[in-house]
Each structure stands twice: as C-alpha cells, then as structure tokens.
C-alpha cells in the first residue's frame, strides 16, 4: 500500500529568511491562508525568539489557521527559544516544537567550540524541557549530511529516548547527492524503526548544488515519512527543496515512489504566484511546474505532436497544477468575472462582496487610463486598496 508523506511548508521560516523576502503581518496571514488551501500538513510559521514581530506573526498564524493545519516554529536548543515557540503556538490544535542543533564536526568545533558529549547533552536537555510543555517535539540534526554517522546516530538515539517524536535530517548546506543522501536516510531509518517505530523521519534539503528536489525524493524512496519544502524553493542561499516539484514528482511517478501527499495540486500555481507577488522575487521562466514556460510548447514538431494527442509531450496537465491553459487579457472591457479571476489567481480572497465592488471600480478607472492591465497592476490595486480602505479584499 502506498505511504502518505507528511508535508511541512517552511516558506514562512526558511523562505522568509531570504534577503528581500521579509513579509509584514498581513502578508504572512495571507500566505498562511493559502497554505491551508494548499492543504499542507504543517506550517513552520517562523522563528519567534528572533523578534517581537516574528513572535506575534507566529501567534496570529496559529490562531488563524491552527485549527486546521499543524503549526510549528523554530527554536535553538535553549529554554528561552523553546518558551517563545511554546507561547506562540500553544493555541493551535496540533502544535509542534522544532528544536535545531548541529551534529557535524564543523558545527561542533567552529560554532559551539564544545565537546561532542556536551552538545549532545544540550540537545537532550532541550528535548526534555520541550516535552514538559507539549507532546510533539521535532529535533533537527543540523548539517547532518556532513556529520560522522555514528555521532549523528547517537544524537538521534539520545533525543528519541528523551522524547523527540520527529527526527529531521537536514542537508543544511546542500552538500549531499541523491544516492548518498538516500543511503543515509535508509541507514537511519533501519535503526530508528528498531528503536521506536512511531518516530517520524523527516528530511530538509537545500539546493546549493541544484539537488534539493532529487535528494528529497531519494530520501522518500529510502523511507523518509515527512518532507520540509518551500513554495518556489524559496530559502537560504540557493533555496530549499521546492514544494511544487517534490509534490508533482510524487504524483506523476506515484507508482515508482509508492508514496503520495495530500496536497491540493490545483492550488500550486496560485501559491507560487502569491509568494512571487508578496516577496517580489520572481520565478525563472523555465522553472519546473510553476515557471511561465512550464507548459508552453514552441517547436513545430512538439505543437504538431500535441495537437494529435497531448500525452505526446505532456506528463501532467496545466490544469492539474492550477495553471491557466488560456490567457485572459484585462482591459476596460473586462467584466467583474475576469477581474475577480485575476485577483483570485494571485491568491487574494474576494469574498467581501461590497468591498470587491469598490475594488472593481478602481480597476475600471485604471483600465480606462491604459490599454492593458497587467498582473503587477492588479497586485498594486489590491494592496493599495487594502491600505486605503483597511480591508481584507
């Protein structure tokens, strides 16, 4: 029987760490609503010990969507960070404390300048403390892919015995390659199943060598139960494994991976657009799944083949990932329907009817003054309208 893979989205934590990607409270809530529509299992909402603003944003997200989506936030292995996470997520239905601490010699020597035993003990103490607050605790062995296997395993064994319910194995600097990372996960999985088969094994891959998606899929093939990903692959440096790529990799090749996610794939495009609009960080045109050219066919041979049967050159349909198969050009002649479609395509909510009418009037005024209204005009209209009217549409 195929396994369900748990999807943790960390766009609001690892993604938001990216220079230029800082979001305000309203934007974070907007994003969290979209992640709920996308049906992710867990949202990593931030790093509450980092600032008052981050703490409040995590708390607001936990209140807004925490009744339907699991909520976590990041803590270093210190009490004050763990307290901040607990206080910010405790109102969610399914709160999870996420603790991170390095396991590689580089981290131990250069970052902590402490012995292996002392760092391991810090991790164990942190987990024991977190367990006094909440039942679910994830432990991330930072820089796992550059760690000595036996030390990595003794850390995992010790924190599981201390009560960790999820072990997350990060390829923090994107150093791993698929065969090797898969092998690492297989070895950990074998021992973990013998130690405590209820503990969830998770992976978190970075894209420094362009292999985050491949490493994540290889980990799934080798027994990982959970993946940490971001929309558009946004994240530190070259980014994280992209949610849309891993999810569609599993969907299109489900028979090979014998795994699936509960992601609502028709929301993928909208999620990607929303991240682009909110952060201002564009997706490359040839990006898999969500790039502008992902479903564009230009060569005559391909077009001919497609006209005979789409399957000739299509492994998934644009509709399956929520991409438009047709383009609607907005002008002063466009009606409410087309405008509403454009606003919703960006991930904005249009349910406030009266308010939408005001927004539509603004659109018509703008459309009268120019030939075509582009996506960036619509985005400006919506965000400006919200500031002026102080509303949610």
Q: If binding is defined by CB under 6 A, does position 74 make contact with ligand KIV?
A: yes
CB closer to ligand KIV out of 69 and 205:
205
CB closer to ligand KIV out of 108 and 373:
108
Q: If binding is defined by CB under 6 A, does position 273 make contact with ligand KIV?
A: no
Report what 140 binds from Zn ion, ligand KIV, none; CB cut-off 5-8 Å by kind: ligand KIV
Q: 30 and 278 in contact (C-beta within 8 Å)?
A: yes
Q: 148 and 119 in contact (C-beta within 8 Å)?
A: no
Contacts of 383 (CB under 8 A, 6+ apart): none
State the number of CA atoms in the 13 A half-sphere of 332 facing the CB: 7
Q: Token pair of 72, please?
A: 């976590």
Stretch of residues binding ligand KIV (CB under 6 A), selected from 54-62, 164-172, 243-251, 383-391: 164-172
Neighbours of 130 (CB within 10 A): 29
Q: If binding is defined by CB under 6 A, does position 107 make contact with ligand KIV?
A: no
Which residue positions form the known binding site?
14, 204, 206, 240
Q: How far is the CB of 345 from ligand KIV (least distance, A)?
A: 30
Q: How far is the CB of 320 from ligand KIV (least distance, A)?
A: 30
Q: How far is the CB of 13 from Zn ion (least distance, A)?
A: 8
Number of residues that bind ligand KIV (CB under 6 A): 10
Q: Which of 41, 142, 245, 267 binds ligand KIV (CB under 6 A)?
A: 142
Q: Which of 15, 170, 233, 322 binds ligand KIV (CB under 6 A)?
A: 170
Stretch of residues binding ligand KIV (CB under 6 A), selected from 111-119, 166-174, 258-266, 303-311: 166-174
Phi, psi of 368 (to 5 degrees): -65, -25
Instruction: Please identify the residue of the shown chain whose CB is closest to the bound Zn ion.
Output: 14
State the number of CA atoms in the 13 A half-sphere of 389 facing the CB: 17
Phi, psi of 170 (to 5 degrees): -90, 140
Q: Which of 100, 101, 166, 381 binds ligand KIV (CB under 6 A)?
A: 100
Q: How far is the CB of 174 from ligand KIV (least distance, A)?
A: 9
Pinpoint the alpha helices (H) of 196-299. 212-221, 243-252, 254-257, 268-279
Q: 193 and 233 in contact (C-beta within 8 Å)?
A: no
Q: How far is the CB of 100 from ligand KIV (least distance, A)?
A: 4
Residue listed under structure tokens 């690892």: 14
Strand duo 137-142 + 200-205: pairing = unpaired
Site for ligand KIV in 189-228 (CB under 6 A): 204, 206
Residue listed under structure tokens 């970052």: 111
**Paired strand residues for 102:** 142
Q: 98 and 85 in contact (C-beta within 8 Å)?
A: yes
Q: If binding is defined by CB under 5 A, does position 14 make contact with Zn ion?
A: yes
* d(C-alpha 388, C-alpha 245), whole Å: 37
Q: How far is the CB of 74 from ligand KIV (least distance, A)?
A: 6
| Residue numbers at the binding site for ligand KIV (CB under 6 A) | 14, 74, 100, 140, 142, 168, 170, 172, 204, 206
| Residue numbers at the binding site for Zn ion (CB under 5 A) | 14
């Amino acid at each position: 029987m195929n396994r369900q893979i748990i999807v943790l989205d960390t766009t609001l934590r690892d993604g938001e760490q990216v220079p230029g990607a800082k979001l305000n409270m309203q934007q974070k809530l907007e994003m969290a609503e979209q992640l709920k529509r996308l049906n992710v299992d867990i949202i990593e909402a931030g790093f509450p010990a980092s600032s008052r603003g981050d703490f409040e944003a995590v708390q607001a997200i936990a209140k807004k969507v925490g009744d339907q989506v699991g909520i976590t936030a990041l803590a270093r292995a210190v009490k004050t960070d763990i307290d901040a996470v607990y206080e910010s997520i405790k109102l969610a239905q399914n709160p999870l404390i996420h603790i991170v601490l390095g396991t590689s010699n580089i981290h131990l020597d250069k970052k902590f300048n402490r012995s292996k035993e002392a760092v391991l003990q810090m991790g164990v103490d942190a987990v024991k403390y977190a367990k006094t607050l909440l039942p679910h605790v994830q432990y991330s062995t930072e820089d796992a892919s550059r760690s000595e296997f036996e030390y990595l395993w003794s850390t995992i064994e010790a924190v599981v015995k201390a009560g960790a319910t999820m072990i997350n194995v990060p390829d923090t600097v994107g150093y791993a390659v698929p065969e090797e990372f898969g092998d690492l996960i297989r070895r950990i999985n074998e021992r973990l199943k013998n130690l405590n088969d209820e503990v969830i094994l998770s992976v978190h891959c970075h894209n420094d060598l362009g292999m985050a998606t491949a490493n994540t899929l290889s980990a799934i093939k080798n027994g990982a139960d959970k993946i940490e990903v971001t929309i558009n692959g946004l994240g530190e440096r070259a980014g994280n494994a992209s949610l849309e790529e891993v999810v569609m990799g599993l969907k299109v090749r489900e028979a090979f991976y014998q795994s699936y996610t509960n992601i609502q794939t028709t929301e993928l495009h909208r999620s990607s657009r929303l991240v682009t609009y909110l952060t201002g960080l564009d997706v490359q045109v040839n990006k898999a799944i969500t790039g502008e050219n992902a479903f564009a066919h230009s060569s005559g041979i391909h077009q001919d083949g497609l006209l005979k049967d789409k399957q000739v050159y299509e492994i998934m349909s644009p509709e399956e990932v929520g991409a438009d198969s047709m383009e609607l050009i907005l002008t002063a002649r466009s009606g409410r329907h087309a405008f509403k479609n454009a606003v919703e395509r960006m991930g904005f909510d249009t349910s406030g009817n009266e308010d939408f009418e005001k927004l539509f009037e603004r659109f018509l005024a703008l459309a009268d003054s120019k030939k075509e209204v582009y996506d960036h005009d619509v985005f400006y209209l919506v965000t400006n309208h919200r500031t002026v009217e102080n509303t949610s549409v």
